[in-house]
Structure 1
Amino acid sequence: MADKLRWRQKRGAPDCWETQCGYTIALCRLPNNRYTITAPGGSAPFAYTNERDDITPLILAHKQAQAVPA
């Protein structure tokens, strides 16, 4: 699995990006900046982080966990 993800700005959505595999990242400007990460088809974020560098490892871990049969 690649350790790099490409993001692109979502049209009409400032501070919101989408990966090629469908994950959505949004920057929420609360008292401090916080990124939310939503899985493809998800209605709510599965992860929150204050660090941009945490986003890719969180997505890769989520993808890996989803590939494991229950």
Structure 2
Amino acid sequence: MNMKLLAFAALAAATATPALAASFYVVQDSATKKCTVVDTKPTVTTSVIVSPDGKVYTTKDEAEAAIKTISVCETK
């Protein structure tokens, strides 16, 4: 019985882990042209994903670093 429980626990952990992975997006507000990092994919037309090829970042720090390299996010 312990082997069945262990197998079930391993399966549950393996399937739950991808769901817990964080996703961060670099988006630009089309009205203000300001770029920000958000943790949910934008669903409104006023926010546009501006990262190269729609890249999804796994950490907020990675997304914030990317803002500095995205040309439309540069401050003039």
- Choose between structure 1 and 2: higher helix proportion: 2
Report TM bin, short chain: 0.3 to 0.5
Q: Normalising to structure 2: TM-score of the pair? A: 0.36
Larger Rg over CA atoms: 2
Greater relative contact order (CA < 8 Å, ≥ 6 in sequence): 2
